[in-house]
């Protein structure tokens, strides 16, 4: 079974039009006879808005309940994306972190993934479903919803790719790869066709926002091939990180 994991961030799924654009990338892989697993972030400013609502109640929220609240955003995206795929004639199903399940420790707000169980996902792939999974979230051994902290959806994608032994993990963002500097600020920024995990880690630790260092470390440990691509440039080859 040839499996591809794709991850789409908040700007990529921000509204209905962008969800349909995301569908194009998913369908492109599906037409290559790949089994596709998609990890999604919350739409646009959804998480920030949830935190704003939380602060209207308390500045010091219960950590468990904070995670219950902020995990909602990804759930909304997952359901909407499945509906968008269904409308175009593709079989798809959504799963939340606890349904997979993605098992984490109990460090609310910045939990670490302990294990990803793949039985349900593999069963859905065998039935030719596209599987859309809410990123950024999991469940601890006491059945509490947990969230994974900064870069959480990227971490979900890498962990899922590792567990499924996927051929690659495509991280879709608003730039078409990894650059030597921010291409929006520097005309001299050079795009890398390929970059090592160590170089990517160095850049992440120095403030590059393309990939979070936590997910790069996990990819290096699990030997997951990452491809950083643009959601908005269909023909972009992106940057390979391995």
Contact between 144 and 64 (Cβ < 8 Å):
yes
* Pairwise CA distance, residues 112 & 136, whole Å: 11
Residue 47 counted as domain residue = yes
> Stretch 214-235: mean pLDDT, rounded?
92
> Tell me, what's the pLDDT at 207?
77
In this predicted structure, what is the pLDDT of residue 37? 98
Q: Is 119 a member of any domain?
A: yes
Residue 208 lies in a domain: no
Give the domain CATH number at 22: 3.40.1160.10
199 assigned to some structural domain: no
Which structural domain range is residue 157 located in?
Answer: 3-173
Tell me what the mean pLDDT of segment 23-31 comes to.
97
Query: How many domains is the chain built from?
Result: 1
Is 239 part of a structural domain of the chain? no
**What letter does residue 86 receive in the DSSP assignment?**
H
Would residue 197 count as lying in a domain? Answer: no
User: Which percentage of the chain shows pLDDT scores above 90?
Assistant: 86
Average model confidence (pLDDT) for the chain? 95
At residue 181, the pLDDT reads 84
Give the Cβ contact number of residue 127 at 10 Å: 10
Average pLDDT of span 172-195: 88
Rounded-to-integer distance, Cα 160 and Cα 100, Å: 10
In a domain, 236, yes or no: no
Question: Residue 197 above 80 pLDDT?
Answer: yes
Give φ, ψ of 60 to 5 degrees.
-125, 75
When comparing pLDDT for 188 and 113, which is higher? 113
Longest dimension (CA), the chain: 51
Q: Which band of pLDDT confidence, cut at 50, 70 and 90, is reported for residue 103?
A: very high
Q: Is the pLDDT of residue 67 over 90?
A: yes
* pLDDT attached to residue 72: 97
Residue 20 lies in a domain: yes
Q: What percent of the chain has pLDDT over 70?
A: 100
User: Is the confidence at residue 174, as pLDDT, over 80?
Assistant: yes
User: Taking the chain, what is the end-to-end CA distance rounded to the nearest angstrom?
Assistant: 22
> Cis omega before residue 101 (within 30°)?
yes
Is the CB of residue 58 less than 8 Å from the CB of residue 65? no
């Amino acid at each position: 079974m040839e499996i591809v994991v794709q991850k789409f961030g908040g700007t990529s799924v921000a509204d209905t039009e962008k969800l349909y654009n995301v569908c194009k990338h998913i369908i492109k892989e599906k037409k290559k006879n790949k089994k596709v697993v998609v990890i999604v972030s919350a739409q646009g400013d959804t998480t920030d808005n949830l935190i704003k609502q939380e602060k209207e109640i308390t500045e010091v929220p219960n950590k468990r309940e904070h995670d219950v609240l902020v995990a909602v955003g990804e759930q909304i995206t997952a359901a909407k994306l499945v509906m968008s795929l269904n409308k175009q004639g593709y079989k798809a199903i959504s799963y939340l972190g606890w349904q997979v399940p993605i098992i984490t420790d109990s460090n609310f707000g910045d939990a670490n993934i302990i294990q990803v169980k793949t039985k349900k996902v593999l069963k859905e792939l065998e039935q030719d479903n596209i599987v859309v999974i809410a990123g950024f979230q999991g469940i601890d051994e006491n059945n509490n919803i947990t969230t994974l902290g900064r870069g959480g959806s990227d971490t979900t994608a890498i962990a899922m790719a590792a567990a499924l032994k996927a051929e690659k993990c495509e991280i879709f963002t608003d730039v078409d790869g990894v650059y030597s500097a921010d291409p929006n600020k520097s005309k001299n920024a050079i795009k890398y066709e390929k970059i090592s995990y160590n170089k990517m880690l160095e850049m992440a630790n120095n403030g590059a926002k393309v990939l979070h260092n936590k997910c790069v470390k996990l990819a290096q440990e699990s030997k997951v091939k990452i491809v950083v691509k643009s959601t908005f440039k269909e023909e972009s080859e992106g940057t390979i990180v391995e």
